[in-house]
Structure formats: structure tokens, C-alpha cells
Amino acid sequence: MNNDSANLRHGLSEIFKSWLESCVRKGRLSRNTIAVGIVVLDHLRQKCPVLKSDVMSEGGELKGSRAGLGSILEKYGIPKNFLKEATTRQAHQDAKRLLELFNWGEAIKGLSSDDRDRLLTDLIKLLTDKAKEWLSRPNLKFDMNRLESPTAWIHLILEKSKGISGGIVEQHIVGAKLQKRYADFPIPNHPAHSADVQTERLGDFSIHKTVYHITAAPSQAVIQKCSANLRAGKHPILLIPQEKKATALAFAEQEHIENQISIISIEDFVTVNIIEISSGEKRDFFQILQEIIEIYNKRLSEVETDMSLRIEVK
């Protein structure tokens, strides 16, 4: 490799590393961005340069980042369960920005085919290493104080998962509680980020005329869903972390439905069942918590890709 090629490879590597650093948000690189980065580089390995229409849809999404993503990830040693599909708008914008920085491959065209392949292989390895770091993250582990109440245990779980859960822990802990409580009633299991409209659901869970909405961050949008439930003759229950109860109530007051819906903290919702089941089965609170966590882990592994959100309690 001559000096010109070496300098070009170095310059392109620095551009890529700068792009990678710019994609770190709130101290971390998202799975979506890692995945679209791999897809972009895979496109450039197949064809270089590329036309925008070759790799971006009219709606601004990176082609190959939804259908077929698992196969591309597996090609580079990343298991399919790393991410089912890249869904965030930010990730697709990151992909477009990377392509623009490489001038849609024109910047790479000056390299020989061997040097180009070496460059892209090296850049893909930077991303696969990030993916492997992400996959090796430890589970959520809790050393529960048996002298504390079940409310304190559930609050500790929600607090420790804050900022990394994205609503996943909240939804599946409620789903596990419902499954434990209604053993003879099928409690559906959906990914936490599947929209109600996409899955034709009234909310996260429905039992008879009751519809449950679970969120870590209450908004006017979820209150409007509750309002739609009321118009459909259903009773909505909004479940949020204890600290968000006042916020949820304020949104409900804006919609004038504060006296028609139930707003309950997730801590209280799960705790009441732990106490009731414990009394009915004549077993201690912690045993019931352990069973709910076991159900939670099973439900999580069935539909989610982030296994670092599995919970261990002792």
C-alpha cells in the first residue's frame, strides 16, 4: 500500500471515528445506531459508490435495516437477537449522515479493492466490538433487604433500571404480576415498544373491561388513549412510577378525565398483589416476589432483545 492509500485510509478511519463519537448520546451508543452503521458499511462493501436511491427509501429509512437486518448482523458474528430491526428515526439519520460523510462511497473509491475491503472490515469490527460489549452487559442484580416492604423492593427495581429500561422493565414487571395474579387468563406478551395501533391493542394489557397502560414517562398522548378507552366503554388504568403520579394526574386534569380513570403507581400495583397472594398461599412476601421475577424474565426473553434487563434478586 502506497503512502497516498495509507493517508486516505487513515483519513477515512478518522472520519468514521468522529461520526461514531457524535452518535454517543446520554453517555452511550444505541443498538439502533450500531446496527445501521454495520448496514451502511455492508452496502459499501457490496457496491461503492452507491446512489442514494440504492440505500435510502423515499421515507428516509436505510434499506436493509428492518427486513434482513438479522442476516446482515449474523454475517459479521452478531446474533440476530441483538436487534430485530432498527426503528428509531435518529438511527436512520445517523446512517444518512455517515453516507454523506463518505460522499456515498465516492471518498472510498480512490482505494484499491483490497484496501477498500481492509478499511471497511476494520470499521465494521469497531462496530461489532461495540455490539459485543453491549451484549455482554450484566443483568440487573438486587440484594433485597428482607426487612423492607415489597413497595421498597419494586421501587428499587424501577430506580436501578431508570435510564436504561426505556419502559421495558415497567411493562414486563406489570405483565408478570398480571400473569401471576390471573393464572387461568392468558396475559398477552408484546415487545414494550410495539405501538398499540400496530398491534391493534387498546392498551398494553386488557382484561375484560379493564385496559392497562404502562409508562415510565406519562404524557398527554397516553392520557388521550385512556380517553379513547372511556369512549369505548372500557375502564383505563394508568400505571406509572410513584414519582410520576402527580405528572400523570395533571395530564388527566387537562383532559378532564381525572375522576374517570385510575392512576396507580407500579410500586403499589405490584405490592398489593404480593401481599394478597402471600396471605392466600401462606408464604412470605419474598417468595412471591421471586416468582414474579421468574415470570418477568421468561416474558422478557420471549419478546425482547435486551437480555441485560433480566433481573436477579437475592
Q: Which of 135, 166, 189 is the last residue of a domain?
A: 135
Structural domain range at position 280: 140-313
* pLDDT number for residue 196: 40
Q: How far is CA 183 from CA 37, 127, 177, in A?
A: 44, 43, 10
Helix (H, G, I), strand (E, B) or coil at 247: helix
299/159 same-domain check = yes
The number of folded domains in the chain is 2
Chain segment 147-166, per-residue pLDDT in tens: 999 999 999 999 999 878 88
Average pLDDT over residues 174-185: 92
C-alpha triplet 131, 135, 141: angle, nearest 5°: 145
Strands 210-214 and 205-207: antiparallel
C-alpha triplet 109, 31, 304: angle, nearest 5°: 140
116/151 same-domain check = no
Average pLDDT over residues 47-72: 93
**pLDDT greater than 90 at residue 144:** yes
Chain segment 218-236, per-residue pLDDT in tens: 999 999 999 999 999 999 9
Q: Which of 83, 116, 135 is the last residue of a domain?
A: 135
94/188 same-domain check = no
Is the pTM here over 0.95, yes or no?
Answer: no
Q: Which of 99-108, 154-163, 195-204, 267-276 has the lowest mean pLDDT?
A: 195-204
* pLDDT number for residue 307: 87
63/175 same-domain check = no
Q: Which residues of 261-279 are buried (b: 16+ CB within 10 A; e: fewer)?
A: bebbbbbbbbbebbeebbe
Chain segment 84-141, per-residue pLDDT in tens: 889 889 999 999 999 999 999 999 988 999 999 999 999 999 999 999 998 888 899 9
146/289 same-domain check = yes
Q: How far is CA 38 from CA 42, 47, 126, 174, in A?
A: 6, 14, 10, 35
Phi, psi for 211 (deg, rounded to 5) = -120, 125
Q: List the CATH number of the domain containing 266.
A: 3.40.1350
Residues ≥6 apart with Cβ < 8 Å to 96: 56, 60, 62
Sheet strand arrangement including 205-207: 205-207, 210-214, 235-240, 262-265
Q: Which of 82, 104, 135 is the last residue of a domain?
A: 135
**pLDDT greater than 90 at residue 197:** no
Cell, residue 142: 438486587
